[in-house]
Amino acid sequence: MHDPQELLKDGPQAVRRLARRRHDLDPAALADALRERNGAQAEVTRLRTELNRTARARRSGPPTEEEKASARALRAEVQRAEAAARTAAAHLTELLLSVPNIPLDAVPDGDSEKEAVEIRRGGPAPRPADGARHHADIGESLGILDGPAAARLSGARFAVARGAGARLERALRDFLLDLHTREHGYTEQSVPFLVDRDTMTGTGQLPKFEDDLFRTQVGERELFLIPTAEVPLTNLVAGRLLDSRSLPLAFTACTPCFRAEAGAYGRDTRGILRLHQFEKVELVRVCAPEDAPAQLELMVNHAEECLKRLELAHRVVLLPAGDLGFSARMTYDVEVWLPGSGSYREISSVSDCGTFQARRADIRVKRPDGTRTPAATLNGSALPIGRTVAALLEQGVREDGSVVLPEALVPYTGFRRILPGGDTA
């Protein structure tokens, strides 16, 4: 959450420029709410000062009935003013909780992925899209993906993998977690998949994106299914004062992710690219604010290394301001080539959130000189299991219908090739 004075300190012109870069910001409403809060607080201060002055000026001896009545009336005014101040403060807080993070100056202007700036490409040369097959067709012909079974169980946007497909998913989980814990220095965590409202608010999912979340209610207890492991991983240090000498902290977890996809009607209805439930290996780092830029570059390299080991064609792009996630101030997307759709598609989003989440979740850093400051948090996917399977199928399919897997996965799968009918070799 932002400090409203800090947000508005550069004046209306700067705020209007921010609003053009982040269209979900209403600077006029923010300024009005801040003015209302400050005015209400000033009125409370004035009335309390008047009450104290009256009490000091009262003559010695028992108060007269007139003095008693005047004091009661003044105290009632103070109470009404305090109630109004609480209401104004709550309104400002509610508004601030819906204000997105401020993009860094290095982030380009633009409203969509079309304005993303390509940074580099990696992996083998992209396979031609002409005549390429969609991963859903490949998976069904191999007998390892069963969309109709998923639809019978749960409806649209769910998936069933069987046999070698399920084994491939398990192999990817183990491979990715081993890579991040053994080579990249992350500590694996096993975290809850259900969290409370405060936890969701700490990382920015609430209140703005409640329609995209799955919520449970048992009696009086309300819990949300996590949309990403970023939520519990970041909140592991919520409310804590961290010694700067212990930073950065680096966490990873593989969890199911649950998303209502409320705004995705009609998009990616085939296959396993956009599901209500999917698994993902997530990376989270917590550091001192001045170290965030270097940590962001490191995390992008970690995500990209996964694709290099899996021999997948990919590219890295810098997102424009209007396409940033709510909590991010700068984001690199790592996009994998999907010849079946003839396009690069996001497979990892690595974001620098600055102190935005730490202010909401009360994550602070204590420096050697004793000063305290909000921490910086960063997060990224590395990688989602379903989208990685889709890329492996589309880039690895051969003319005979079999799919060849990268050498790095063989120790985890026990096979190099998936044959039509689901057999392996």
Q: Tell me: the pLDDT tens digits for 279-294?
A: 999 999 999 999 999 9
Taking the CA atoms of 241, 3, 112 and 266 in sequence, report the sign of the dihedral they define: positive
pLDDT tens string 211-229: 899 999 999 999 999 999 9
Statement to judge: residues 70 and 120 lie in one domain: no
Of 98, 130, 155, the residue that ends a domain is: 98
pLDDT tens string 243-266: 999 999 999 999 999 999 755 566
Report residue 16's pLDDT band, with 50, 70 and 90 as the boundaries. low
Residue 351, marked binder: no
Statement to judge: residues 288 and 382 lie in one domain: yes
Helix or strand run (H / E) with residue 405: none
Please report whether residue 107 resides in a domain.
no
Statement to judge: residues 304 and 183 lie in one domain: yes
Please report whether residue 213 resides in a domain.
yes
Give the mean pLDDT of 179-203.
98
| Residue 255 β-bridge partners | 280
Please report whether residue 177 resides in a domain.
yes
- What single-letter amino acid sits at 232? P
Residue 347, marked binder: yes
Residue 331, marked binder: no
Please report whether residue 214 resides in a domain.
yes
Cα angle, residue 360 at apex, residues 94 and 329 outer, rounded to 5°: 100
Task: Beginning with the edge strand found earlier in the chain, give each strand of the sheet holding 249-258 in spatial order.
Answer: 117-122, 314-318, 330-338, 343-352, 376-384, 277-287, 249-258, 187-188
Please report whether residue 307 resides in a domain.
yes
Can you tell me the distance from the alpha carbon of 374 to that of 363, in angstroms, rounded to the nearest whole number? 6
Helix or strand run (H / E) with residue 143: none
Comparing 55 with 334, the larger pLDDT belongs to 334
Q: What are the catalytic residues?
A: 259, 274, 346, 349, 387
Can you tell me the distance from the alpha carbon of 287 to that of 340, in angstroms, rounded to the nearest whole number? 40
Can you tell me the distance from the alpha carbon of 412 to that of 146, in angstroms, rounded to the nearest whole number? 23
Statement to judge: residues 84 and 17 lie in one domain: yes
Residue 93, marked binder: no
Can you tell me the distance from the alpha carbon of 261 to that of 267, in angstroms, rounded to the nearest whole number? 10
Please report whether residue 423 resides in a domain.
no
CB 196 within 8 A of CB 235: no
CB 101 within 8 A of CB 354: yes
Residue 37, marked binder: no
Q: Quick one: pLDDT at residue 60?
A: 63
- Domain hosting 71: range is 4-98
Residue 121, marked binder: no
3-state secondary structure of 49: helix
Domain with residue 389: its CATH number is 3.30.930.10
Please report whether residue 265 resides in a domain.
yes
Class of residue 232 by CB neighbours under 10 A (exposed 0-12, middle 13-18, buried 19+) = buried
How many distinct structural domains can be found in the chain? 2
Statement to judge: residues 149 and 279 lie in one domain: yes
Please report whether residue 105 resides in a domain.
no
Domain with residue 21: its CATH number is 1.10.287.40
Residue 348, marked binder: yes
pLDDT tens string 103-115: 998 999 888 888 9
